[in-house]
Structure 1
């Protein structure tokens, strides 16, 4: 099959890409023929989807965009072992779980959700880019296995200190802007970091970055310095 049907309208697959964005979809299982497709990229953003059930047969999928929906439960992706890029920004997600089998995942976007605690990431050892901005996170943890991570955005949360970054030896970009951080500590392990964003925090003095030999950009405006 090279097409699916939703509410009487046909949507064609083009070069392995299927665009089903902005269709007011509430239930993925109502998309006729989706389970018969062999596609690499599925666009489901800006719908009204509440759960991810109905994608189990898309075993060739490499990119999935489910941003700007009403998703609260992200289970249902366990069979998508080839997934490389997963967009789940701007949903209703409060817990990270159900991603354990996505060991090939390289990019994960979870900005603009309601995540309170960092968990469920320890099997994502191939992850290179992680966006957790604009959530409700109070503590950095569960990053021990993310040794391939190069870009970490965790701006606009409720962090009060920098911690849990010890194993991120390959990190190049760190965005901690818009938190409640008062001291620059815990960055000494980031030997390859190029860019650090600490603007809009509560930092009183610049210290703890002296030994970061690869650092090129340090944003620290809108603090108490």
Structure 2
């Protein structure tokens, strides 16, 4: 019969492998905490399914060979595992290893595995034994190139080993190996393998490099996307780019024409550099502010959870103590009620009934007291959370105000830069107008631009229109930051308040249901009918 990994099996295994003699006796008496166990042997136990190992979070070595396991599962909690032996089982597929990122030694000898796969999360793999399985494809072995730390590989007993070119193929493609099938790889074999597969290796390495470049580009794009998402939440998206500056001219036809003015390019480039630099400072400050908000929110949530946990601990203690008293009282009531039902003298029977009635009355008083205590705890928690929420609201309001005030100061610098540039542009255009009127221009102006220099009013109006477009863009960006930061704060506080109200209502309902249950319990006890009616 297949065995189940239950508490009894685990306890026995831990005791067998734990300290011996006097230390062993003490450990057996006091019990061994599974989360402190570093090594565990569950071999030769007829285990069919890997289960119930979630408490062994510090385990570094697990031996489960010589069982009847069919699937690798139930290992996600063993994040510190370095050595795993699942040899001599009935496993058909490599899987369920995703969380074992520290694994260094994996033994799957004598199973039914047909393919090497699903081990990408094991970057530290140093030893791999998959001998006596059903691996039959040479090309599948190339999968192991992704493990740069792999030094020892055992494939003996697989159909793939019957291929005449097996050894040289493995040595060529897995140049990091030191031992193959329990034998040291000599230098002569390495040279033969390299010579034989030199061209194919070159092509493979080129493809791998291309794939790595593509992967890195994808990773960079993902990071950039994440950075953009964060900057959205920080209200400063795109301010680390020239986008705001470019957008001012994108919707400014007059400014685009004026940008063609001879001699303006240097001045425009200086304006752009200074403008983008202030935008970047705004971006960096916004991101820094976002980090502070996240930290404040995390600390607030931790504080709330700590208060709720402590409140729950106090309530559970009171309930546990009451349950002990209740068990004892119910036991006494049932014994006494049995005596009432038997042949007794009237006086004894009367005393027994009286005891039961008094005990029931005492129980109801105790239940009422539990109600008062639990509701008292809840009111205490409500007051505590209310004060914490008020502190959080003050902190976040101050933080948001400081953020907005500082960013508004930076955006004022953008306006100042625009105003200064506008004044210089107006001065330059007046000089150009004078030359155009006197026909003293050294360079021919484009037709669109020349049309602006027909008189002073035309050029002044064009420059003014361009200036207005730029200021509107800057103002809109400022308004957007102020509005979004305020909306986030309002929404955040509303969610917190709504969540606390919902929690309080649910807790009151929970306490009421628990008290009703306690009252029903004594009413449903198997007591003599006469007493129950009383």
Secondary structure in structure 2 of the residue aligned to 1:64: strand
* Structure with greater proportional strand content: 1
Task: Return the alpha-carbon distance in structure 2 between the equivalents of residues 94 and 138 of structure 1.
Answer: 14
Counterpart-to-counterpart distance in 2, 1:7 and 1:197: 34
Q: CA deviation at 1:181?
A: 1.4
- Mark the CA change 1:35 to 1:153 in structure 2 (over 3 Å): closer, same or farther: same
> Quick one: structure 1 residues 93 and 208, their matched pair in 2 at CA, closer, same or farther if it must change by over 3 Å?
same
Task: Name the structure with the higher helix share.
Answer: 2
**1:152 counterpart residue number:** 153
Where in structure 2 are the equivalents of 1:41-56 lying within 5 Å? 41-56=39-54
Equivalent residue for 1:18? none
Deviations along 1:123-157, one digit per CA (max 9) or x if unpaired, are: 11101000000000112243242111110101110
Deviation at 1:122, TM superposition (A): 1.3
The alignment partner of 2:159 has SS state of: coil
**With structure 2 as the length reference, what TM-score do the two structures score?**
0.29
Shift in CA distance, 71/141, structure 1 to aligned 2, threshold 3 Å = farther
Whole-angstrom CA distance in 2 between matches of 1:57 and 1:80: 8
Tell me whether 1:180 sits opposite 2:162 in the alignment: yes
C-alpha change, 1:54 and 1:35, in structure 2 (3 Å) is farther
Q: Residue 110 of structure 1: which of 108, 111, 118 is its match?
A: 108
Partner of 1:175: none
Aligned residue in 2 for 1:170: none
Between structure 1 and structure 2, the one with the greater Rg is: 2
1:133 to 131, 139, 143: 131
Measured in 2, the distance between the counterparts of 1:154 and 1:7 equals 32
Pair 1:11–1:186, CA change in 2 (3 A)? closer
One of 75, 89, 92 as aligned partner of 1:91: 89
Matches within 5 A, 1:1-225: 5-6=8-9, 12=15, 14=18, 36-139=34-137, 140-159=141-160, 179-183=161-165, 184-185=168-169, 187-191=171-175, 193-196=177-180, 209-210=190-191
Q: What are the ranges of 5 or more consecutive residues in structure 2 without an aligned counterpart?
A: 1-6, 20-30, 195-534
Aligned residue for 2:144, secondary structure, equals: coil
For residues 94-114 of structure 1, the C-alpha deviation after alignment (integer angstroms, 9 at most, x for no partner) is 011100110000000000000
TM-score (norm 1): 0.64
Q: Retained in 1: the 8 A contact 2:13–2:41?
A: no
Change (3 A) 1:108 1:71: same
- For the aligned residues, what is the CA RMSD? 3.2
Q: How many residues align?
A: 167
CA distance in 2, matches of 1:83, 1:181: 35
Match of 2:4 in 1: none
* Corresponding residue SS for 1:79: coil
Shift of 1:80: 0.6
**Alpha-carbon offset, residue 35 of structure 1:** 7.6
Compared CA separation, residues 9 and 59, structure 1 to 2 (3 A): closer
- Distance, in Å, in 1 between the alignment partners of 2:74 and 2:55 is 11
Provide the rounded CA distance (Å) in 2 between the counterparts of 1:62 and 1:7.
Answer: 16
Measured after TM superposition, the shift of residue 187 of structure 1 is 2.8
SS in 1 for 2:146: coil
Alpha-carbon distance in 2 for matches of 1:192, 1:36: 37
What whole-Å deviation, never above 9, does each CA across 1:149-178 have from its counterpart, x for those lacking one?
11010111011xxxxxxxxxxxxxxxxxxx
